[in-house]
Amino acid sequence: MSLLQETKLILQRYGIKPSRRLGQHFLINERVIEREIEHAELSGDDVVLEIGAGIGNLTKYLLSTGCKVVAIERDPLMVRVLKERFPGARLQIICGDATKVELPQFDKVVANLPFVISSAITFRLLKHEFKKAVLIYQKEFAQRLVAKPGTRAYSRVSVACYYFAEAKLLQRVPRGAFYPPPEVDAAMVELIPRRKRLPVDEEFFLRFLAALFPYKRKTLKRALVLAAKRLFGKGIKPVSIAGEGLLERRVFQLSPEELTQISEALRRWSTEGSE
């Protein structure tokens, strides 16, 4: 029996109608699942976090490696499926919203993330310690995670991801790999947390990126004035933050290293009360 046939039988048996609002698209391509497992390099000693486990198509393959799986699923009916499908397995199930529930300790993350929570859950995960994550995202979001300075996809998400982790695009995942198929293609991404992060005040840096990148096509000179108004309610003299060489460049052309330097200069300016 194919995974698609098995999926349809389970959905029919439990009377489940997948919710697009909740991002319920079940991965049915066995080769894609096998590639996820291969990239994760799992062993029996690993504790693997799976987010949005659904009816357990990926869960089944994770458990076959001998690892312990901690599955987070917000739909109580899906939780029932998981419990009845894998009785006695090395499986812990948490019923709740992965963006809100207390996360357990884990070594690795392997998941087909609901597209609607991609950003929120990714940066929540990256604030925890783990070895590696292999995640499937909406393709556009995946491209933003790995984008380089000066490219169209380069964004606040790109810089924040670079700060926390090394990100690598592994492969495209066509929409036909899911049932029901989503409206867009997906992509598989590997995230390995950085042991040594860029020297910057993390909380301020993330707020700075959120304030600056709405103006990513503007010069840094102009964007800094607008970002300062967002952050502090007042403007600044950009030359007090960065030299002319940087000020005349567009925000999306600046590297994460350059942006951390600008963030620290702006933070010092704000604490010292400069004009």
CA angle, 203 then 207 then 212, to 5°: 145
Assess contact for 58 and 92: CB atoms under 8 A: no
The alpha carbon of 180 is separated from its chain's Cα centroid by a whole number of angstroms, namely 22
Question: Structural domains in the chain?
Answer: 3-193 (3.40.50.150), 202-272 (1.10.8.100)
Assess contact for 211 and 232: CB atoms under 8 A: no
Strand 68-73 relative to strand 91-95: parallel, antiparallel, unpaired?
parallel
Query: How many C-beta neighbours within 10 Å does residue 71 have?
Result: 26
pTM above 0.75, yes or no: yes
CA torsion, ordered 114, 119, 120, 122, to nearest 10 deg: 90
Tens-of-pLDDT digits for all 275 residues of the chain?
A: 899 999 999 999 999 998 877 778 999 999 999 999 999 999 999 999 999 999 999 999 999 999 999 999 999 999 999 999 999 889 999 999 999 999 999 999 999 998 889 999 999 999 999 999 999 999 999 999 999 999 999 999 999 999 999 999 999 999 999 999 999 999 999 999 999 999 999 999 999 999 999 999 999 999 999 999 999 998 888 988 888 889 999 999 999 999 999 999 999 988 876 54
Strand 186-193 relative to strand 165-173: parallel, antiparallel, unpaired?
antiparallel
